[in-house]
Amino acid sequence: MNKGRMTSHVRIQFVALLMLLGMGALGLRLWWIQVAHGAEWTSQLRGSSQATVRIPSVRGEIKDRNGVTFVQNRASYEVDFYLPEMVKGYRERFGSPPLTEYRAIINGMPKDQKEPDIIKIVNNGIVPRLNDLDLARDYNAAKLERHFRNDTEVPSNRCALMFMAR
């Protein structure tokens, strides 16, 4: 064979070997983290349900040339809750959650149902903490209860279908 052609084959094989070694090292590291130490990471995930957020510094007001204020420096927060996780947290902190009864139509037949009382859970467990942080606001309890009954699952499939239908 040609000498130049032989060296190009050797170079390609060397690069392929380096790529295989790199992929093997990456696979070994992933196995080490996920399989060998998976229980450690899982326990850390289950134990953390709070996030620390850095609040940016005050920037002041933005005014036009006449001194009219366009924007004031006011902190704004958005608090999102995953309702089944709130019930689970209440159960862990205080024991069994309070229950509420309601009548539902299941397979065309009325049936009495029991479920955790999300209104009491929010009022007893969440609102006091939000009051401490001066973040509590009024909410519509009837809408929250209806949402908890109907939409407790993670809406990923429904959202995907809604977006695809549009």
pLDDT digits (tens, 9 = 90+) for 48-59: 566 667 777 677
Structural domain includes residue 64: no
CA pair distance 24, 17, nearest whole angstrom? 10
Q: What is the average pLDDT across 19-38? A: 94
Backbone phi, psi, residue 5, to 5°: -70, -35
Range of the domain at 131: 84-165
pLDDT number for residue 30:
93
What is the predicted pLDDT for the residue at 66?
Answer: 92
Select the more confidently predicted residue: 93 or 1: 93
In a domain? residue 42:
no
Residue 41 lies in a domain: no
- Higher pLDDT: 60 or 20? It is 20
In terms of pLDDT, which residue wins out, 158 or 70? 70
On whether residue 47 sits in a domain, the answer given is no
Length of the chain: 166
First to last CA, the chain: 62
Residue 19: inside a domain, yes or no? yes
Given pLDDT bands bounded at 50, 70 and 90, which one contains residue 160?
very low
Tell me the C-alpha to C-alpha distance, in Å, between residue 52 and each of 88, 102, 109, 123: 21, 38, 47, 23
SS (H, E, C) 73-131: CCCCCCCCCCHHHHHHHHHHHHCCCCEEEEEEEECCEEEEEEEECHHHHHHHHHHHHHH
What confidence tens digit (pLDDT) does each residue in 82-137 have?
778 888 888 888 888 888 888 888 888 888 888 888 888 888 877 888 888 777 77
Whether this prediction's pTM lies above 0.85 is answered by no
Instruction: Select the more confidently predicted residue: 121 or 74.
Output: 121
The predicted pLDDT at position 74 comes to 72
Asked whether residue 13 is assigned to any structural domain, the reply reads yes
In the DSSP assignment, the letter for residue 71 is E
> Which residues contact residue 118 at a Cβ distance below 8 angstroms, ignoring those fewer than 6 apart?
83, 86, 87, 144, 145, 148
**For residue 8, what are its two tokens?**
């190009």
Residues 92 and 161 placed together within one structural domain of the fold: yes
Structure-model confidence comparison of residues 162 and 121, the more confident one: 121
Burial class of residue 145, CB neighbours in 10 A (0-12, 13-18, 19+): middle
Asked whether residue 158 is domain-assigned, the answer is yes
The model's pLDDT over 5-25, given as tens digits with 9 standing for 90+, comes to 778 889 999 999 999 999 999
Q: Into how many domains does the chain fold?
A: 2
Residue 129 lies in a domain: yes
